[in-house]
Structure 1
């Protein structure tokens, strides 16, 4: 079966509500390809490797979390950026991207999907906004920091960085996927036992130690593989198109 690119975008935008966010990049259609979509490829980042794999798989459209045209970057299309865009245009493939909307969605988003994978019960957001980016929740049963880090490693398929602070158990936890390490202070103010994000910075460790919060950096890519798969799967089922997730691994 097939659908039109327009119908795909209408459905995706209805789910993601990009108009509700002030983001660092355009959300929705970033590069327009052919008008009909039979095969949708999803991936985390619109890298050359993902584009090449999508071309090989006969994709009509690519759906990602990290697309193009970030605020503050050089707008000139040359070098790596030119090659990526040239590949899309030469093969008439659309590029669709959702950044903050895909982080914040309450069921399909990166944070919601990571919680489901790790078995965390969501209790609320990291802030009191209508669409919070980041959540607070509770483990089904208390775990030591070492036990929880091992659980994360099993579920995500990679060893996380753990900064264990004291010997306390983890019951309440906050998390935000990707480059959200700076939210640790917000998490600590909520009285959680641990905070998990994708990346770590030098100040993050000091914040964790001084505020008594266990910290887990589980990988930017590793924590953001699941939202885009969930969104693409719903779109494919709703619109009757094929879907394939292609994981271009990234150790960061």
Structure 2
């Protein structure tokens, strides 16, 4: 057994939560039992994830995308009520960490994605320094990089060619970080990898010569919360399981 408050206090310091300006609250979003033994991690606090986690016996749920975001009207109705009701009934806790989990140099989404792809980050860039950048082990073509990403992530990726230059430096920021493309260009990247794509990215790739890859929001953000969950399980003596709710976005 471990105390919920002790786990949250540890994560607040370890993830440097106070340093980030975020789109929602980081930390304990739903309070349940004061002591826990079973941790389930997942990308998003969807109803499907919550139900699967509780069915597995979890009393502590750890996610990257929590329940509350800036701009919500705050009423506990509809989809939000349906997600909260089983948590209250089970007296389960929900911890959520968004930008702090993206940025962490060991357990973060960017660090974990880079580790799987063999990218050793040597600099960070962009707003709140969330973007990572690395020299590639060897110059490569965009098609080869796309094939590597597809093999690692298990899904198709969208490639926007630049000027066809050999790719020597990659920049990346997981999830919905398509707006970081200009910062990646300024940081000297030959290619930028993120989860999502918006209309302006095609024109920027064509006009700057820097390639752009959209590899999936969910797919690029599966690894940080797993790594953090494994770390917490070891540190606090918890059972841990990662549940992946399929999402093509």
TM-score, length basis structure 2:
0.97
Task: Report how far residue 171 of structure 1 moved.
Answer: 1.0
Q: Deviations over 1:161-180 (max 9, x none)?
A: 11122322111011100110
After superposition, the CA RMSD in angstroms is: 1.1
User: Contact 1:11–1:235 (CA<8 Å) still a contact in 2?
Assistant: no
* Paired position in structure 2 for 1:194: 191
User: SS of the residue aligned with 1:209?
Assistant: helix
Paired residues for 1:17-36 under 5 Å:
17-36=16-35
- 2:248 is the counterpart of 1:251: yes
Stretches of structure 2 that go unaligned for 5 or more consecutive residues are none
User: Contact 2:164–2:209 (CA<8 Å) still a contact in 1?
Assistant: no
Q: Deviations over 1:141-176 (max 9, x none)?
A: 111100000000001111111112232211101110
Task: Report how far residue 8 of structure 1 moved.
Answer: 1.4
Q: Deviations over 1:106-130 (max 9, x none)?
A: 1111111111011112110014x7x
Whole-Å Cα distance in 2 between the matches of residues 17 and 89 of structure 1?
28
User: SS of the residue aligned with 2:122?
Assistant: strand
User: Contact 1:232–1:243 (CA<8 Å) still a contact in 2?
Assistant: yes
* Paired position in structure 2 for 1:179: 176
* Paired position in structure 2 for 1:105: 104
Task: Report how far residue 22 of structure 1 moved.
Answer: 1.2
Task: Report how far residue 203 of structure 1 moved.
Answer: 0.7
User: SS of the residue aligned with 2:121?
Assistant: strand
Task: Report how far residue 10 of structure 1 moved.
Answer: 1.9
* Paired position in structure 2 for 1:142: 139
Paired residues for 1:198-213 under 5 Å:
198-213=195-210
User: Contact 2:169–2:191 (CA<8 Å) still a contact in 1?
Assistant: yes
- 2:148 is the counterpart of 1:151: yes
Whole-Å Cα distance in 1 between the matches of residues 47 and 157 of structure 2?
26
Q: Deviations over 1:77-107 (max 9, x none)?
A: 1010000011110111111000010011111
* Paired position in structure 1 for 2:130: 133
Divergent runs of 4+, >6 A:
none
Task: Report how far residue 14 of structure 1 moved.
Answer: 2.1
User: Contact 2:131–2:184 (CA<8 Å) still a contact in 1?
Assistant: no
Task: Report how far residue 24 of structure 1 moved.
Answer: 0.9
* Paired position in structure 2 for 1:15: 14
* Paired position in structure 1 for 2:232: 235
User: SS of the residue aligned with 2:172?
Assistant: strand
Whole-Å Cα distance in 1 between the matches of residues 165 and 202 of structure 2?
17
Residue 170 (structure 1) aligned to one of 155, 167, 170: 167
TM-score, length basis structure 1:
0.96
Stretches of structure 1 that go unaligned for 5 or more consecutive residues are none
* Paired position in structure 2 for 1:42: 41
User: Contact 1:108–1:227 (CA<8 Å) still a contact in 2?
Assistant: yes
